[in-house]
């Protein structure tokens, strides 16, 4: 049975420093927000924490993997509640650990959606002006 990974719980300065200047290492696909919360727990940092710029990232998990800290986040995803692609970030030396985390995430059971499931929210036009307070 593969090791179970869980995200850190608090968005503290100390926790954020563990992932300072990390970059994209991989992607995880076909995982809803509910799936991510079931697998990793609640996000470590959200836009409400004021730590992340909401126009870039709305939710981020900081996940310890074999002595390193990786991040799983939505990058500039306008409709994050219905996103199914997540970025996995880390340092270049952590690429193998990012692949291990990706394999773990994608192998977990997912919530089932009815056939033909369509988001209840209308698609967001990226060219339409938005309220700056939503950023």
pLDDT digits (tens, 9 = 90+) for 16-28: 888 888 999 999 9
In 58-106, at which residue ranges do the beta strands (DSSP E only) sit? 59-65, 68-73, 85-90
H/E stretch holding 26: strand 23-29
Query: How is residue 30 written in tokens?
Result: 């076909």
70 by Cβ neighbours in 10 Å (0-12 / 13-18 / 19+) ranks as: buried
pLDDT digits (tens, 9 = 90+) for 61-90: 999 999 999 999 988 766 656 677 899 999
- Check if the beta carbon of residue 125 is closer than 8 Å to that of residue 52: no
Can you give the C-alpha Rg of the chain in angstroms? 15
Higher pLDDT: 54 or 60? It is 60
Phi, psi of 10 (to 5 degrees): -110, 140
**Residue closest to 10 by CA, chosen among 66, 62, 69, 72:** 62
Q: Flag whether the pTM goes above 0.85.
A: no
- Check if the beta carbon of residue 76 is closer than 8 Å to that of residue 97: no
């Amino acid at each position: 049975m593969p090791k179970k990974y869980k995200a850190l719980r608090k968005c503290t300065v100390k926790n954020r420093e563990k992932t300072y200047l990390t970059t994209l290492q991989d992607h995880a696909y076909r995982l809803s927000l509910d799936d991510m919360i079931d697998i990793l727990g609640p996000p470590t940092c959200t836009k409400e924490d004021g730590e992340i710029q909401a126009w870039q990232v709305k939710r981020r998990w900081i996940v310890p993997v074999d002595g390193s800290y990786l991040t799983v986040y939505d990058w500039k995803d306008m409709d994050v509640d219905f996103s199914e692609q997540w970025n996995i970030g880390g340092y270049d030396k952590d690429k193998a650990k990012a692949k291990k985390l990706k394999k773990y995430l994608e192998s977990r059971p997912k919530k089932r959606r009815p056939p033909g499931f369509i988001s209840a929210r209308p698609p967001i036009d990226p060219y339409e002006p938005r309220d700056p307070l939503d950023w």
